[in-house]
Amino acid sequence: MEKLGQIVKIDRERIRPFAGQPREYFDETALNDLARSIKAVGQQVPITVRRLPRPAGKHLFELVDGQRRWLACGIAKVATMIAWIAGEMIEPEDQFLSSVIANFARAEHTPMEIAKAIARIRKRPEIARIESRQKQTEAIADIFGKSFGWVYQFEKLLRLAPALQRRVGRNQLGTRIAEHLALLPEEEQLKCFEFMSEREYDRDQQVACARRWQKRQRLTGSGHKAPDRTQYSVRSAITKMTEASAALIGLDADELAAAILKLSEGDRAAMLRRIGSLIEHLTKLKQVATRVALSRRAA
């Protein structure tokens, strides 16, 4: 029997796709190009599989990563594939996460696949038990190696009408336009998209049209409201300033003085102005925070 961590050759027919894998769309042209390449030079990159606890018909293994290569080998009529055998992943969600990370590193997911993957990862127990949604989002961002804003932008796509979700990332609906449409109620999303399509608007015209539609919805009191990110911005800014100032204050006084002396007279003056401005802004922030705290105590 093959050992875990080995790279071996496996009959393709013994491998089944992972039913819960995050990729839903494979570009047919790119898939055929890969098949031609594999037919010409062979499979160069191993797929990743796990051994099934119990054989499922003719299948002994299940894909963790490499469905494009598996499909392309089928097109090229390649009977045997090179595979790396991963550890047993009993939980489908763990297998899903491994597949997301492996594929995402190669930027192969469509925007909607990323959005759906984020939603699914948010339901994982270690994420769901985090108290605030903001901290959940930060944890998800760490998994992808991206920012809070990146996660937020993709999650907006989940508010799109299903008919529009199917168009995103397939040269039918750009991500930028989709994000604007997602702020409208589903019925208005479809109306706006149809309106733009009939007039064959270019991307800039589509964005302007979607914004006008949003403005009209706000005036009538309907439509989605973007979540308030001010709290995140305040916390993030304070954290960064605290860490940066702590690093500076932690320097030896003579070392800090020497560094300042190396600045030109103009740069030193500019630095003092910025420090003064920063102190002024932080003082105002402290006053607002203190006022809010006192009013909450009084209540």
pLDDT of residue 42: 87
pLDDT of residue 161: 93
pLDDT of residue 193: 93
Structure tokens that stand for 150 in this block: 């990146």
Q: pLDDT (tens digit, 0 to 9) for every residue of the chain, 299 residues total?
A: 555 557 889 999 999 987 766 566 677 887 888 888 888 878 888 888 888 877 788 899 988 888 888 999 999 999 999 998 876 555 666 666 666 666 655 546 778 888 888 888 888 888 888 888 888 888 888 777 778 888 888 888 999 999 999 888 666 788 888 988 998 999 999 999 999 999 888 888 888 898 888 888 776 665 555 545 556 567 667 777 776 776 676 667 777 788 888 888 888 888 888 888 888 888 888 888 888 888 877 76
pLDDT of residue 222: 56
- Let me know if 166 is exposed, middle or buried by CB neighbors in 10 A (0-12, 13-18, 19+): middle
Structure tokens that stand for 250 in this block: 């932690």
What is the rounded (10 degree) CA torsion for 140, 143, 144, 149? 30
Label the pairing between strands 59-65 and 15-16: parallel
Residue in the structure block whose two tokens are 């439509």:
223
CA distance 193 to 166: 13
Label the pairing between strands 7-11 and 80-85: antiparallel
pLDDT of residue 236: 67
pLDDT of residue 13: 93
Q: Cα-atom radius of gyration of the chain, to the nearest Å? A: 26
User: Does the predicted model carry a pTM greater than 0.75?
Assistant: no
Q: Of 79, 66, 78, 81, whose CA–CA distance to 35 is shortest?
A: 78
